[in-house]
Each structure stands twice: as structure tokens, then as C-alpha cells.
Amino acid sequence: MPGIKIACVVDDDPLYNFGIKKLFEFSSFAEDNLFYKNGQEAIDGLSEIIANGQTLPNVILLDINMPIMNGWQFLEEFIKRNMDQYDIKVYVVSSSINQEEIDRANAFNCVNGYIFKPLTLDKIKELKEKLINM
């Protein structure tokens, strides 16, 4: 992956999303960004992108605790709809340090890692480097 064309954030917290946008700008993380407020919005948006033959995100940063459709439900639907066949790197981003949640996230084959909130500029830069070198 020579660069990150599109990054997708699925999180219901507007303050967090504002901060991520700023971190993305400071780090030149991706050429473009998509933001969804919950898993259902993200599944619908990704389905529309696929149906229209548009470019899918290279990476999804997924929160777990959200209304309407949480991160676990998103991952189940992502797999059910065969979205895991596309080369999208999914990272669960959570403030939870519960080992059971970390293990549950990592049990999904489509999940590439678990990142602890808060995201910092260093974590974003480290993730960018990891994604570019995959």
C-alpha cells in the first residue's frame, strides 16, 4: 500500500471525531476521510460505495460502543456481507482495556489490531507507517 487513499472512522462521539480529523490533518494520514456515527451508517455507506463501484477505504477505525449498531454488530455484518473480501484493514479503537474485549476483537479475522483510546499524533503516525509497509 503506497499511501492511504481513504481512511474511515466509525464513532458516535463528535468531539473524538473532531480530534481525529485534526490528527489526520497534522499527520497527512490519508488523502480523504469518511466518518460514520454508528455501525449501521457505516455498513450502509460501504454498501453504497461497493454498489457504485467507488473506491473503498484502505482502513477503518472502529469504535465498539455506539448506538443503533455497535462495533461487534458492525463486524458481524461486515463479514456477513462479505466485505472482508476487500483489502480493508480494520482496527478496533476503544478505551476499554478489558482483555476479553481485546481477545474478542482479535478473534475476527478481518480485524488487524486493537488500539487504545485516546488516539495521539504518535499513534496515528505509527499506524500510518504500519499500513504503508503492509
Q: What is the mean pLDDT of each run of 10 residues along the chain (134 residues)?
A: 86 95 94 97 98 96 95 97 95 93 95 94 94 88
What backbone phi and psi angles, to 5 degrees, belong to 128?
Answer: -60, -45
Reading the block at residue 121, the C-alpha cell is: 499524533
| CB-CB contact of 69 with 43 (8 Å) | yes
What pTM was estimated for this model as a whole?
0.95
Half-sphere CA count of 50, side-chain side, radius 13 A:
15
Strand runs (DSSP E) across 58-103, as ranges? 59-62, 89-94
Q: Domains in the chain and their CATH numbers? A: 6-132 (3.40.50.2300)
pLDDT at 11: 97
> Grid coordinates standing for 122?
504518535
Query: What's the chain's length in residues?
Result: 134
C-alpha cell at 134: 503492509
Phi-psi region of 43 (alpha: psi -120 to 50; beta: other; left: phi over 0): alpha
CA dist 77 and 43 (Å) reads 7
Question: Treating both helix axes as pointing N-terminal to C-terminal, what angle do 71-80 and 39-51 enclose, rounded to 10 degrees?
Answer: 30
